[in-house]
Amino acid sequence: MTSKFLRSFLAVAVVLAISAVAQTSGATPSSSTAAPANPAPAAAATATPGTKVGAINIEGALFGSNEGRRDMEALSKKFEPKQTELKNQNDELDALKKQLTTQQDKLNEDALNTLKKQIESKQKTFDRSVQDAQEELGNQQQEIAGRILQKMAPMIVKYAQDNGFGMIIDTSKPWPQGPVLIASEGLDITKAVVDAYNAQSGVPAPAAGGAAKPAVPKPATGTGAAPKPAAPKPTEPPK
């Protein structure tokens, strides 16, 4: 769902948000909610006697909530014109590259150089447009995640306190990208937190299949054909 940069943002934001809530509620925040810079494989936290350990997919909770799905659907629709624009640029660039491949033996030197320069110029423009779109998309995804997290963090702390959890680990990133090697389904509190958040927010569930992540193509490299824009992938609510 999310880029590495957005995942890093979420890791830091989770620690800050939950730490702030925990300080006012008397709970002790655990650094396990954020992935360390150099994660080492770890089993799903061994609890000390009398201590319950829970797991939550923070990313799945934020973007799987009704509010997150609604806002990601709106963001996807907002980016549709940009996706169309990038696709048109991509198609035009692809056509020029095919022309170069099929006609380079028939063109004179001046025409061949002109075509190559045209391709180079449009490639740079396309790559720059893709990078700008990716940055804009990432910033707006971060805004959505940060806004929801500020409201969801107190609910995570309260749920942990009410249900006797001494530690909550984040399973957003699977090992080896994240620190958790195994976390059984019995530890997962994601759905319970999302259900509670949906009830409090009052935001109705989006229509089935409505929420989707906007996607933009990656900048092309080399002299091959430019990549086709990636189709948006649906954001599924946590199980």
- Mean pLDDT is lowest, of 3-7, 47-51, 178-182, 202-206, for 47-51
Flag whether pLDDT at 210 surpasses 70. no
Q: Assess whether pLDDT exceeds 60 at residue 173.
A: yes
By mean pLDDT, which of 22-26, 122-126, 188-192, 202-206 is the weakest?
Answer: 22-26
Per-residue pLDDT at 177: 80
Question: 3-state SS of the chain?
Answer: CCCHHHHHHHHHHHHHHHHHHHHHHCCCCCHHHCCCCCCCCECCCCCCCCCEEEEECHHHHHHHCHHHHHHHHHHHHHCHHHHHHHHHHHHHHHHHHHHHHHHCCCCCHHHHHHHHHHHHHHHHHHHHHHHHHHHHHHHHHHHHHHHHHHHHHHHHHHHHHHCCEEEEEECCCCCCCCCECCCCHHHECHHHHHHHHHHHHCCCCCCCCCCECCCCCCCCCCCCCCCCCCCCCECCCCC
| Segment 127-160, tens digit of pLDDT | 999 999 999 999 999 999 999 999 999 999 999 9
Query: What value does the mean pLDDT of the chain take?
Result: 78
Q: Is the dihedral of CA 144, 149, 150, 152 positive or negative?
A: positive
pLDDT score for 160: 92
Dihedral sign (CA 173, 178, 180, 182): positive
pTM over 0.75: no
Looking at residues 182-198, what average pLDDT do you find? 92
Which residues lie across from 169 on neighbouring strands? 55
pLDDT, residue 17, reads 60
Q: How many CB atoms lie within 10 A of CB 220?
A: 18
Q: Is the confidence at residue 230, as pLDDT, over 80?
A: no
For the stretch 97-106, pLDDT in tens is: 999 999 988 9
Compute, in degrees rounded to 10, the torsion defined by CA atoms 176, 72, 14, 161. -110
Q: How many CB atoms lie within 10 A of CB 100?
A: 16
pLDDT in tens, 68-119: 999 999 999 999 999 999 999 999 999 999 999 999 889 999 999 999 999 9
The pLDDT score that the predictor gives to residue 214 is: 57
Domain ranges of the chain: 4-201
pLDDT at residue 139, as a whole number: 95
